[in-house]
Amino acid sequence: MTDFLPRTIAEAAQAIRDGSCSPLELTQIFLQRIRSLDDGINSFVLVDEAGAVDAARRLTDEARNGALRGPLHGIPLAIKDIIDVAGMATTANSHVTSRKPAEHDAPVVRQLRETGAVILGKVVTHEFAYAGPPADLPYGAARNPWDTRRDTGGSSSGSAAAVAAGLCLGALGTDTGGSIRNPVSYCGGVGIKPTWGLVDTSGIIPLAFSLDHCGPIASTVADCAIMLNAMANPDRGADKDFSSALGQPARNCRIGVLRSFYDYEGGASDEMRAALDAAAETFRYLGCTTVDIQLPDIRDFVACGRIIVLSEAYALHFEDLEATPRRFGRWTRDRIMAGRLLSAKDYIQAQRVRHGLRAAVENAFAQCDVILTASALGQAPLLEEDGNDAYWQTRYPTIAFNLTGHPALAMTCGFSGDGLPLGMQIVGRLGAEPFLFGIAQAYETATAWPNRAPMT
């Protein structure tokens, strides 16, 4: 099986079903790729070779006995290092955290194991899923497989890099202001921030509890749907099949193009704007209609989101910050300490504004079925160009949908002249992930972007 390298969960699952590759063989293929390639990418913090091989052996025996658990049976996955995995430390890429192994899996990890996933290990995150990638963090920065001089985006940096490099078939990420969608935009692939609350965030180190989401990153829309089927909170999404609309035509879908989130002076690059225009044209080719829609100024969303993130993050970390501030990375410390300047009045007012912004997005769905806009403003920057000042200066088009809780899927919509992915996001109604996956897959099938991969 040394020549077999599946690019998707669906392809690997078919090989396991027909017996052409066992879970053990598949796991060994990816462990070997990690050993061979990850020194240059730095996506993994910890590789649990023994645990992965033991699990794969058990799943191989089950497969031979015809006891397949589903499409994730034997599929190697990686877990962002703010999510608890039993027997592994949850470091959050910080000197502040204990290195004591977690006693239990986070519920979302437990659910993945129960459906047959093999956990390869933990992957790099920005510190506390907030700030990176400066050199003063314990595990450094993941590097972009398309060009290792470039940023991966964050904070689910290792998750997106590992999937893009073919070191695993899927990974868990988290998203408080765009931390799944931003790295997917820079590294390629597909990632979704589900409806808020759809995936249980217990056992995950919080950043801002009222904005935090957990979601999958994979190579294709179908793979993300497969993962979300296993990840959904039994109390919120157990009655849904997130793959149910895959393969359906996109005809008659109304695409709301949200230009104001990227088409302004100093906003998206010319290449990014052209790629989004081309994506809208592809949807029209598929039989959709497009309409320009308006929402409140993106600066309102960004300001509101930042006040909430800073307030909630400071409330979570203030004791460690006051006692041992120099144990934090300098970017994390500088950002979270800004929360000291905010009052309860600021936080409450931001939450009030948030309700109005959520209502504005809900009202926009009277004109359209999904919203199309940028998920990043251009290609991945060089690592030395990605300074902390950019956090305060950039109008991130992703945080809006953390505020409102709507599902938002990021995927590649083109490539830059430097050969780097460009990413868009498609936003759906609350709880409408199956429809969102169907529309996204129709676009994916109509383009050549999923056929391109970094030379790793």
Active site members: 80, 155, 179
Task: State both tokens at 119.
Answer: 């956990």
> SS3 for 439?
helix
- Strand-pair category, 190-193 with 213-218: antiparallel
Between CA 48 and CA 113 the distance in angstroms is: 14
Inter-residue contact 205 to 235 (CB < 8 Å)? no
Best CA proximity match to 255, nearest among 285, 225, 223, 235: 285
Inter-residue contact 162 to 44 (CB < 8 Å)? yes
Task: State both tokens at 243.
Answer: 């793959």
Between CA 317 and CA 304 the distance in angstroms is: 20
Q: What are residue 31's phi and psi, to 5 degrees?
A: -65, -40
Q: HSE of 127 in the Cβ direction (CA atoms, 13 Å)?
A: 26
- Strand-pair category, 190-193 with 170-175: unpaired
Task: State both tokens at 14.
Answer: 């078919």
- Strand-pair category, 289-292 with 370-374: unpaired
DSSP conformation letters of 22-41: -HHHHHHHHHHHHHHHGGGT
> SS3 for 246?
coil
Q: Sheet holding 421-427: strands in order across?
A: 44-47, 118-123, 76-80, 170-175, 213-218, 190-193, 408-415, 421-427, 370-374, 254-257, 289-292
